Amino acid sequence: IRRVLSDPSASVVVVEHRDRLARCGVELVEAALSAQGRRIVVTDEGETEDDLVRDRIEVLTSMCARRYGRRGARNRALRAVTATRHSDTGVR
């Protein structure tokens, strides 16, 4: 996304969901692009229009993804270590 945003020849940035562009502060990105004569097109507008509600949802989504993503990574690492130990000892 950084490459697309820094490329001045990209006059239109198309995203499916606003929260995929930035966790929060999409309005700032839109304003910066607008100042350069560029724009953002969101294909799935079926989202909440209230800024406060949308920002809160974006923050909660980010926090949950971080928390459960870490837990998932930790669980995968533990399973890999366990599988390695079992394969080293010949236990199945």
For the chain, the structural domain boundaries read 1-47, 49-92
pLDDT tens-digit map of 43-53? 877 655 677 77
The CATH class of 1-47 is: alpha beta
Query: Mean pLDDT over residues 18-28, rounded?
Result: 78
pLDDT, mean of residues 19-26: 76
Could you tell me which residues come within 8 angstroms of residue 71 by beta carbon, excluding any fewer than 6 positions away?
A: none
Residue 82 has pLDDT above 90, yes or no: no
- The arithmetic mean of pLDDT across residues 11-39, rounded, is 86
